[in-house]
Amino acid sequence: MCTMIAAKLPLSAAAKGPAGWFPADHAYLAYDHPARLAAEHALLLDFVREADGPSRRLAVELPLPDAVALRDALSRAIDQAAAHEGAAPGPTA
């Protein structure tokens, strides 16, 4: 943990990896050293099913500007989705 910027939250989601779809029960968020992206640090986003072991993981490594753009796009989409549903969304897990 070189930055100590990390978070973990429960989900009730579905994710698709190389082995197909799986129920994702947690998201991992961190800003730390990426495994593949050519950068010292990156926004690391994982969707996992913990009971299946470390390999059941959908992983994305984002440069910080891309992470900001994704956050803003997610926020806009969530607002639109909430308006579509006629209510503010709440966590499902």
Partner 1 sequence: MGAHKGRPYIGTHYTPDGREAMTYTTDQYEGLIAETITVTGANGDPVTAYFARPLGPGPFPAVLLIHHLPGWDEFYRETARRYAHHGYLCLSPDLYCRAGHGAPEDVAAKVRAGGGVPDDQVVGDAQGCIDMLRAHPAHNGKVGVTGTCSGGRHTVLIASRAAGVDAAVDCWGGRVVQAPGDRPPAQPVPPIDYTADLQCPLLGLFGEDDSAPSPAQVAEHEAALQAHGKTYEFHMYPGAGHGFFYYDRPAAYRAEAAVDAWEKIWEFFGRHLGG
Interface with partner 1 by CB under 8 A: which residues? 1-4, 6-8, 26, 28, 30, 32-36, 38-41, 44, 46, 48, 50, 53-55, 57, 59
Nearest to 89 by CA among 24, 14, 12, 16: 12
Taking Cα atoms as reference points, which of 93, 34, 90, 32 lies closest to residue 61?
Answer: 34
Looking at the Cβ atoms of 57 and 62, the one nearer to partner 1 is: 57
Rounded to a whole number of angstroms, the minimum distance from the CB of residue 9 to partner 1 is: 10
Report in angstroms how near the CB of residue 87 gets to partner 1 at its nearest: 31
- Look up tokens 């992983």; give the residue: 59
